Amino acid sequence: MSSESADVEPIAPVELKVPTVGPSRPGTVPSRQVAWRLVRRPEVGPLVGAVLIYLLFLVTSRPGFVSLLGTASWLDEASVLGVLSVPIGLLMIAGEFDLSIGSMVGASSIIVAVGNSYYHLPIWLAIALAILCGVLVGLLNGLLTVRTGLPSFIVTLAALFMVEGAALGISRAAINTSAMSVYVGGSANAVFGSSWDTFSVSIVWWVGAFALASWVLHKTRFGNWIFATGGNVLSARSSGVPTSLVKVSLFVSTAVGASIVGILETMEYHGGDVTYGADFVFSAPVAAVIGGVLLGGGYGATIGIMAGTAIYAIVSIGVNYTGINSDWTELIIGVLMLYAVLANNFVRRAAMRSRSARSGQS
């Protein structure tokens, strides 16, 4: 180094004063940023929506809506639907779909009724057979989906027709009808058919399904696998996530959930019927979508699914207390579903842009 360069004094760094945004205290977060974080959460929209929908019917409905009977009506509706929409929501977060749930509800119902009333099987054995049937159908759906690579929509649509046709054919061959009465008491009725002041035991099943799914989705490694599988199945697989196991397990859970709904319906209405599950084919996925689950997978929360199920039930039952023709119910639910999909996609894209911007800055 020359003497001239050695005599040059280093230039002192220039202190730049950048104006701070938001609170100046260390560790605090701007309120706008907090609000944006809340909006990005998948359960916030459905929870707010459930409150607003309830308040809307509270103002526009007759007094009977808020009575004990009116409250029990929509809670019972939500609970039966919720037992099925919770596992369906988890399956949709993983990026798959199940249409066979409708036929599985009816098949389980007729298995319990015919097994107990016609073949005189112990009621718990008939219930076990119905749940076993659900496990087998779920395994079939899951294995066919992951082994063949076919869309789950097609696989489960075929299963819908196969299970419904088998249930109808076997029941007609055995008892010459597709419906049969059954009256059950004892412990089985207490678990699946009891009620308290018009509130059905299905509410307990709904809360139990929600608690179990919340723990699995948000507190376990398997829950992380569900999100990863639905977000990008190839990346998840390359990262060591057992995506096939995740999907098969969730297909089994939806089929078992459908079996439990069929048992609940059988106990409540004192009879089994192959057609019991027709309304659940789309109502359960719709409730999950209203609850913030994206059809593309990778996004959702169990609290949101629960809120979406409540919204569906409040609208379905609340319309009857407003004096509006119930024929408009499906229109209202369709509008809610479209709004939910648009809102969820907007929030998801905004969140992805925000994440990309932060990554670029770093």
Tokens of 195: 């009620």
Residue 181 lies in a domain: yes
pLDDT at 206: 96
The CA distance from 250 to 159, in Å, is 16
Residue 96 lies in a domain: yes
**3-class SS of residue 271:** strand
Residue 97 lies in a domain: yes
Helix extents (H) in 61-151: 68-93, 101-113, 123-148
CATH number at residue 163: 1.10.3470
Residue 89 lies in a domain: yes
CA-to-CA dists, residue 236 to 94, 229, 240, 241, 298, angstroms: 11, 6, 7, 5, 11
The CA distance from 55 to 28, in Å, is 34
Residue 329 lies in a domain: yes
Task: Indicate the residue type of 117.
Answer: S
pLDDT at 105: 96
pLDDT at 43: 72
Task: Indicate the residue type of 295.
Answer: L
Number of domains comprising the chain = 1
Percent of the chain at pLDDT above 70? 83
**Nearest to residue 290, comparing CAs of 16, 71, 43?**
43
Domain span including residue 289: 65-343
- Give the pLDDT band of residue 362 (cuts 50, 70, 90): low
**Nearest to residue 152, comparing CAs of 286, 262, 297, 280?**
297
**Nearest to residue 108, comparing CAs of 276, 270, 281, 285?**
276
Task: Tell me: pLDDT of 140 over 80.
Answer: yes
Residue 73 lies in a domain: yes
Task: Tell me: pLDDT of 39 over 50.
Answer: yes
Residue 16 lies in a domain: no
- Residue the block writes with tokens 């949101």: 304
The CA distance from 107 to 116, in Å, is 14
pLDDT at 93: 95
Task: Indicate the residue type of 336.
Answer: L
> 288, 300 in Cβ contact below 8 A?
yes
Residue 362 lies in a domain: no
pLDDT at 23: 46
pLDDT at 225: 96
The CA distance from 309 to 303, in Å, is 10
